[in-house]
Amino acid sequence: ATPQPHNAPDDSEALENAIVGVVAAMADASRVKMLSALMDGRAWTATELSAVTDVAPSTASAHLNRLINSGLIVCVAQGRHRYYRLTGSD
């Protein structure tokens, strides 16, 4: 069989943009530390993640918002507390 020319699907640009978004969200060491901590399967508070990454709470909040916007984590509110966890097990 002769090889077929590679034709990118119409949505390849959307896929590329999604990958760029995930990579950009993970391009900071503090965010990678947060994601690594969350890989234990638990939901963590912003304060706990701030301590793990050794950044100020305001900085941790900005990092968490970036990770939420990228779709890597979600925030779950329980009463007056907010917990962060990975979006999925994969």
pLDDT (tens digit per residue) in 68-86: 999 999 999 999 999 999 9
26, with CB counted inside 10 A (0-12, 13-18, 19+), is middle
Q: Which range of residues forms the domain containing residue 63?
A: 12-86
Residue scoring higher pLDDT (90 or 75):
75
Q: How far apart are CA 88 and CA 90, in angstroms?
A: 5
What is residue 17's predicted lDDT score, i.e. its pLDDT?
86
Structural domains of the chain, count: 1
What CATH number has the domain bearing residue 40?
A: 1.10.10.10
Query: Could you read off the pLDDT of 16-69 as tens digits, one per residue?
Result: 888 888 888 898 999 999 999 999 999 999 999 999 999 999 999 999 999 999
Q: For residue 18, tell me if it sits in a domain.
A: yes
Cα 60 from Cα 87, distance rounded (Å): 18
**Residue 2 domain-assigned (yes or no):** no
Report yes or no on 4 lying in a domain: no
Distance of alpha carbon 22 from alpha carbon 30, whole angstroms: 15
Q: What is the pTM of this model?
A: 0.79
Q: Determine, yes or no, domain membership for 7.
A: no
Residue type, 44: W
The amino acid present at 88, given as its one-letter code, is G
What pLDDT was estimated at residue 68? Answer: 95
| Residue 64 is assigned to a structural domain of this protein | yes
